[in-house]
Amino acid sequence: MSCSWCFVALLLALVSCTHNEPKPLLYEAVFGTEPSTVVLLERVDSTWVVCNGSERIRLRPQGQEVYEVPVFKGSWKGEWKGREWSGFWTDSLRSGDYRVPLTLKPVKEEVLKPHRSENTDTSYWETTEGLLVMATRDDSVWATVSTPTGDYRYLVGKKTYNTLVFNNFDGAHLFRFQAEMKGDSLVNGQFLSGTHYHTTFSGRRLASMPTAWKSATQAATSKELTFSGIRANGDTLRWTSSLLENEGKRGLVLDIMGTWCPNCMDEARLLREFASDYPEVQFLSLAFERGTGADALARLEAFRTEMELPWEVLLGGKASKSEAASVISAVDTVRSFPTTIFWPLKGSPTIHQGFNGPATGEGFEVERAFFRSELNRISGRLGNH
C-alpha cells in the first residue's frame, strides 16, 4: 500500500496549517479530559479552524465568543484571559448538558517545523480498536484506525521516546489514544472519547498490510423495494418500485445514516460528488436520529442544506440498527451507520456496510471505485463512466 497520502498530510501538520498568506496564528486546543486531549488550531478571520492533519474544520462565529461547530452543531463558548481563551465545548448531540472544559493557547511555529530528516515510516498495527495505519516522521505522527464499520478519521500526534499519543476533534467526537511502544507492541494504553468513555488500548505491529482494502457488503434478504420515511414537512413518504418507475428512474441509492455520524458525512460527500453524473438514478438519505420529534426534522433539513445535498433527507426513526432494519425490506440486519443500498429497478440490490473515508487514503479510493461501479450497474451503463 502506498502511503504518499500520509506523507503529504504529515507535512501539512508539521509545517503549517494553511497555504494562505499572511500565515494565521497557531494555537493548541487543550480539552479537559483526563489526561488532556490536544489538537492544533489556526486563528483566522476572528474564528478558529481545527487542523486534523490535512482536514480543516472552520467554526462559525456567533458573537460574544461563541463559535458553532459545522454539520454537527454544538459550540465552543468562552472568554479571553490575556493571550489564552478559556471556556467549554458543548456537544448538542448528547442529552443533558454535556460540556468539556477547553483552553486555547498560542504555540510557537518553530516547534512545528520538521527536522532535516525526510524519512517517513509507515506501519500497520492490529489493535484493540481496529487496524491502526500510522505514519511517523521524527517525533510526529499521522494515523487512522480502520474498523469493519468505518474509520476513526484523521488522527494526529507525537511520539516522545517510547510514548505514543494521537488525537482528533471532528465536531462530533473527541478522541485520544495513548500507549507505550515496546518493540513491536503497544502496551499500557488507553483510549478516551470525550469525558464519557474510557477503555484500555493495546496492539502489535504487523509485518505488512494484512489484506488489501476492500468494500464491505452483506447479502440482501429481498429484492422488494419498499421503505418509508418522514419528510421535512411532516408527511410520510413510502417508496416503492412503482414510485421509482413513475419518476423515470432506473435505480435508487439509499443512504442509511445519522446526522450524528462523521463517517456518514464523509459518505454523503462522496455520493454528492457522483449524483450529477447519474440523473437516471434517485439518491435519497434515510436518517435514524437520537430524537424523532420536530427538532429532528429541522436538524435533517439543516444537515441537507449544510452538506448541499440535492436530494431529500427523510427521518426513518430512532438511532437504532434494529429499528433501521425493521423499516427497510431488503435487510434483516443493519450492521453499521452508514449502510448504502444500490437498488436497481430490476435486479438485485447491493448492500454496502460501513465506510472507509478520506483519512484512509487508499481505502477511500477503493470505496470510490466500488460506488462508481455500482452506480454504473444500477443505471444500466456498461463500462466506466
Taking 90 as the threshold, does the pLDDT of residue 181 lie above it? Answer: yes
Q: Are residues 157 and 18 in the same domain?
A: yes
Q: Are residues 155 and 224 in the same domain?
A: no
Do residues 367 and 342 lie in contact, with contact meaning Cβ atoms separated by under 8 Å?
no
- What nine digits make up the cell of 108? 510557537
- State the pLDDT confidence band at 110, using cuts at 50, 70 and 90: low
% of the chain with per-residue pLDDT over 70? 90
Taking 90 as the threshold, does the pLDDT of residue 175 lie above it? Answer: yes
- State the pLDDT confidence band at 212, using cuts at 50, 70 and 90: confident
- State the pLDDT confidence band at 121, using cuts at 50, 70 and 90: confident
Taking 80 as the threshold, does the pLDDT of residue 113 lie above it? Answer: no
Question: Which of 221-235, 268-282, 325-339 has the largest mean confidence?
Answer: 268-282
338-377 pLDDT tens trace: 999 999 998 899 999 999 999 999 999 999 999 999 999 9
CA 7 → CA 26, 93, 169, 170, 357, distances in Å? 21, 33, 21, 21, 17
384 is a domain residue: no
Domain boundary among 159, 194, 211: 211
Strand, helix or coil at 112?
Answer: helix
73-102 pLDDT tens trace: 999 999 999 999 999 999 988 877 899 999
Specify the residue for cell string 444500490: 342
Q: Which distant-in-sequence residues (6+ apart) come within 8 Å of 324 by Cβ?
A: 256, 286, 288, 316, 317, 331, 334, 337, 339
Residue span of the structural domain in which 322 resides: 217-379
205 is a domain residue: yes
Taking 70 as the threshold, does the pLDDT of residue 66 lie above it? Answer: yes
- Give CA angle at 47 (41, 50), nearest 5°: 25
Q: Are residues 274 and 186 in the same domain?
A: no
Q: What is the pLDDT of residue 382?
A: 65
Domain boundary among 177, 211, 245: 211
- Give CA angle at 166 (152, 164), nearest 5°: 130
Q: What is the pTM of this model?
A: 0.89
194 is a domain residue: yes
What's the mean pLDDT in 226-247?
93
Q: Are residues 310 and 372 in the same domain?
A: yes
Q: Which distant-in-sequence residues (6+ apart) come within 8 Å of 262 by Cβ?
A: 72, 153, 170, 171, 172, 173, 357
Q: Are residues 51 and 151 in the same domain?
A: yes
Q: Are residues 129 and 272 in the same domain?
A: no
What DSSP designation does 302 have? Answer: H
133 is a domain residue: yes
Do residues 215 and 366 lie in contact, with contact meaning Cβ atoms separated by under 8 Å?
yes
Count: domains in the chain: 2
Q: Are residues 178 and 64 in the same domain?
A: yes
Cis peptide before 262 (omega within 30 of 0): no
Q: What is the pLDDT of residue 22?
A: 59
pLDDT mean across residues, the chain: 89
Give the Cβ contact number of residue 197 at 10 Å.
11
Q: Are residues 173 and 26 in the same domain?
A: yes
Where b means 16+ CB within 10 Å and e means fewer, 101-122 reads: ebbbeeeeeeeeeeeeeeebeb
What's the mean pLDDT in 243-260?
94
- State the pLDDT confidence band at 209, using cuts at 50, 70 and 90: confident
385 is a domain residue: no
Q: Are residues 152 and 15 in the same domain?
A: yes
Q: Are residues 65 and 117 in the same domain?
A: yes
- CATH number for the domain harbouring residue 305: 3.40.30.10
What DSSP designation does 54 have? Answer: T
Domain boundary among 190, 211, 232: 211
Specify the residue for cell string 484493540: 128
Q: Are residues 4 and 57 in the same domain?
A: yes
Query: How far, in Å, CA of 125 to CA of 230, rounded?
Result: 43
- 204-212 long-range Cβ contacts below 8 angstroms, 24+ apart: 204/125, 204/126, 205/123, 205/124, 205/125, 206/123, 206/124, 206/125, 206/126, 208/124, 209/1, 209/124, 210/124, 210/126, 210/131, 212/1, 212/366
Taking 60 as the threshold, does the pLDDT of residue 3 lie above it? Answer: no
Taking 60 as the threshold, does the pLDDT of residue 37 lie above it? Answer: yes
Q: Are residues 222 and 177 in the same domain?
A: no
Q: Which distant-in-sequence residues (6+ apart) come within 8 Å of 231 by Cβ?
A: 237, 312, 314
β-pair partners for 215: none
